[in-house]
Structure 1
Amino acid sequence: MTSYRFTTLALAAALALAAQSPALAQDKPVNLKLSSWVPAQHPLNPSLQAWADDIKKASNGSITATLFPSEQLGKAFDHYDMARDGIADFAYVNPGYQPGRFPIMAGSSLPFLFSNGKEGSAAIDAWYRPYAAKEMKDVKYCFAFVHDPGTFHARKKILLPTDIKGMKIRPATSTIGQMVTSLGGTNVQASAPESRDMLERGVADAITFPWGSISLFGIDKVVNFHMDVPLYVTNFVWAMNQGKYDSMSAAQKKVIDDHCTSEWAQKVAAPWADFEFAGRAKIAALPGHEVYKLTPEQLDAWRKAVAPGEAQWAEGVKKVGQDPKAVMDSLKASLAKYKSAL
């Protein structure tokens, strides 16, 4: 009798618990296509896989994912539209690949703002989140992040802004591209996977790139001089197809929402930030390469030379009905809060 009562009570408790919790295990299975255009061996890919694995765990296995690296689902330039159109369910977007399309986000790639990529990723996400609903309304915004600061890597030594005149440079973002143009250089557009070929063929003389990726993409074979200054960061967005999100159950949507946060932005970006930071020492140790610092006077000349870029960016922000001062002030406040301001 006691055994029967115990079994009955245990069953009743289990049923009560089941009624209180979302029935994730009974939700319709969802498999997400994740698109990443960087090579399979890039440190971002394991981070994205770990993010997806945590979603699988949190959804009791009802949400699984398949990661497609190396532009398997489409070109790097097309990833925002791939998320919008459902070619990918999640896509790794470089907003700077489409100049003028995301004017607010472009402010984060202005020179001399970020000191690091780890806390900087939480900072950019916290800042951009309120703006994303309007600027990236075609997709469901998940989070934004940055790589560790990049700089000029070139066939010749670049010390002063005047050295840019007459050079052909592959810029990381449209904002850096505007800086190059203003200094008398010529922009050569190429995605990261295409960049080595452009430099090797002499179509470009220099590139703005983070440190670790220089070796990863083989660019260390074609450039020798590296300016040791945190010049800029590239912003990225992890974007979701809105229709795929809408098709999920309420419990599954909550799992996605819980993984689209500033904390997750930093978690995903941190291993990549470490990789890029470590690249500086590796390049410095390579025979025939020179990593050089700028004098205070040279650095001051750069800061003055790039200042007009912010005014140019501000005009683009005004055109979409935003106050550029308020936008930039909020970015700088977020960088200060997350201890990632330069």
Structure 2
Amino acid sequence: MRKAILALLAAGCIMPVLTPAQAQDKTVNMKVSLWVPPAHPLVPATQAWAADIEKASGGSIKMSVFPSEQLGKAFDHYDMARDGIADITYVNPGYQPGRFPIAAAGQIPFVFSEGKKGTQAFNEWYQKYAKTEMKDTKLCFAFIHAPGTLHGKKKIVLPSDLNGVKVRPAQSTIGEMVKLFGGTNVQASAPESRDAIERGVADEIAFPWGSIFLFGIDKVVKYHIDAPLYSTVFTYNINLAKYNSMSDGQKKIIDDHCTPEWAAKVTDPWVDYEAAGVAKMKALPDHEVYPLTPEQLAAWKKGVEPLHTAWSAAVKKAGGDADAIDAELKASLKKHSAGL
């Protein structure tokens, strides 16, 4: 039997079984751009993700990961994916106010209770809307970090305490919150933030807990609100031309690595890292980490209500059904037990 099969193979009567990726002979090289430093948990997690893609493709998809803004500034990463400066990029939609109004729902304060469930809820909800809102790239997955808060040189307890204060916001919606409460926004990407505070350009910063240490910001701030004030939403975006140039088998491999399961694998280590920063900060003798009283928390939640109204108006202006979109997000948060 074995000799017969070998003879048929030699004669070309039986074709060997190949996977779609193995059947094509074109190698695709992809550049993955991250703007966080190599020590950030997203970098090794993304490298592992990229290595698994290369393995699954039999080596036909080769990925190189570039951290630390090597290929471009953090603010430019969506356009870098759109224009092919990089093939896959790490995007903060909130770095460009008004450009992605639907995604901004996740930027409103007091939406998410924690990062892992929040990522599952947000990614599931936003996949539908990214097809329109981010149509000039392909969304791989969307995610959030563990909720962050305000850190600074001054003890902030009530929204009114921000009046006249210079704040580096995490994203555009937090920037609107700062203006709402009488503060002044200082625009700086995460890698630029410590310098802004150290030079007195900013007094306060909205930032996740673990990254305060990663970027050295713990050296220039003292006070920290112990409350899940906000989360920032992020996306991994793929250049459409590069994706469309792939074989069907290669596309499937990329799609198989843009699932909720892979979103968790890539981002959960970061969520854990940020969450661990709370205890780390509390252990430092020269820092004050303080909770808000129920009355103070109620004042914050009441104070940010206009941000949801503004979000709804922006979505309607862009042609979306804000009420339906908001209801779907709330349903996803409830499904994943991710809301406040």
CA–CA separation in structure 2 for the residues paired with 1:189 and 1:262: 32
Write the deviation string for residues 305-324 of structure 1: whole angstroms up to 9, x where unpaired: 11111001111111111121
Structure-2 residue corresponding to 1:204: 202
- 1:129-181 CA-to-partner distances (Å, cap 9, x unmatched) read 11101111111111101110000001111111110111000111111111110
Aligned counterparts of 1:33 and 1:6: Cα–Cα separation in 2: 43
* C-alpha contact (below 8 Å) 1:154/1:226 kept by paired residues: yes
Please give the residue correspondences for 1:135-150 in structure 2 after superposition, counting only pairs within 5 Å. 135-150=133-148
Q: Which amino acid aligns with 2:88?
A: F
Quote the residue 2:285 is aligned against. 287
Once the two structures are TM-superposed, the CA of residue 27 in structure 1 deviates from its matched residue by: 3.0
In 1, the alpha carbon distance for the partners of 2:187 and 2:242 equals 32
Q: 2: CA distance between counterparts of 1:169 and 1:161?
A: 13
- Counterpart-to-counterpart distance in 2, 1:36 and 1:137: 21
Question: Would you say 1:304 and 2:302 are equivalent positions?
Answer: yes
Contact kept, 8 Å, 1:245 with 1:253, in 2: the verdict is: yes
- The answer for the alignment partner of 2:48 in structure 1 is 50
Which range moves more in the overlay, 236-245 or 132-141? 132-141
Contact 2:22 2:60 in 1 (8 A): yes
How much has 1:332 moved relative to structure 2? 1.4
Check if 1:90 corresponds to 2:88: yes
Q: Is the 8 A contact 2:24 2:247 kept in 1?
A: no
Q: Cα deviation per residue 1:82-107 (whole Å; 9 max; x = unaligned)? A: 00110000000000000011111011
Q: Hey, what does 1:275 align to over in structure 2?
A: 273
* TM-align CA RMSD: 1.8
**Does the 8 Å CA contact 2:21/2:247 hold for their aligned counterparts?**
no
**Residue 3 and residue 193 in structure 1: after superposition, are their counterparts in 2 closer, same or farther (change >3 A)?**
closer
* Cα displacement (A) at 1:262: 2.1
- Out of 227, 231, 234, the residue aligned to residue 232 of structure 2 is 234
**Alignment TM-score, normalising by the size of structure 1:** 0.95
Distance in 1 separating the partners of 2:16 and 2:327: 48
Counterpart-to-counterpart distance in 2, 1:207 and 1:250: 45
The residue number in structure 2 matching 1:246 is 244
Give yes or no for contact 1:283–1:289 (8 Å, CA) kept in 2.
yes
Q: 1:249 to 1:58 in 2, by over 3 A?
A: same
- State the aligned residue count: 340
1:75 aligns with 2:80: no
Q: Does the CA-based 8 Å contact 1:25-1:62 persist in structure 2?
A: no
Q: Equivalents in 2 of 1:11, 1:210: separation in Å?
A: 62
Matched, 1:18 2:17: yes
Structure 1 position 6, deviation (Å)? 6.5
Could you say which residue in structure 1 is the equivalent of 2:132? 134
1:93, 1:65 → 2: CA distance?
A: 18
Partner of 1:338: 336
What does residue 3 of structure 2 align with? Answer: 4
What letter is aligned with 2:56?
A: A
Q: Which residue of 2 aligns with 1:326?
A: 324
Deviates more, 1:115-124 or 1:189-198: 115-124
Residues in 2 aligned to 1:257 and 1:7: alpha-carbon distance in whole angstroms: 36
Structure 2, gaps ≥5 residues long? none
The residue identity in structure 2 corresponding to 1:333 is A
Once residues 330 and 8 of structure 2 are traced to their aligned partners in structure 1, the CA distance between those partners, rounded to angstroms, is 58
- Contact kept, 8 Å, 1:228 with 1:292, in 2: the verdict is yes
Question: CA–CA distance in 1 between the matches of 2:286 and 2:192?
Answer: 24
Over 4 Å off, 4+ runs:
6-12, 14-17
Q: Is the 8 A contact 2:9 2:15 kept in 1?
A: no
TM-score (norm 2): 0.96
The CA distance in 2 between the partners of 1:295 and 1:15, in whole Å, is 75
Answer whether contact 2:88 2:239 (CA < 8 A) is retained. yes
List runs of 5+ in structure 1 lacking aligned partners.
Answer: none
Distance of aligned partners of 1:304 and 1:30 in 2 relative to their CA distance in 1, 3 Å threshold:
same
Q: Which moved more, 1:219-228 or 1:55-64?
A: 55-64
> Is the 8 Å Cα contact of residues 21 and 60 (structure 2) preserved in structure 1?
no
Q: 1:4/1:262 Cα in 2 relative to 1: closer, same or farther (>3 Å)?
A: closer
Which residue does the alignment assign to 1:260? Answer: 258
- Conserved 8 A contact 1:25-1:60: no
| 1:168–1:185 contact (8 Å) kept in structure 2 | yes
Distance 1:11 1:299, change over 3 A: farther
Aligned counterparts, 1:93-132, within 5 A:
93-132=91-130
- What is the CA–CA distance in structure 2 between the aligned matches of 1:15 and 1:125, rounded to whole Å? 44
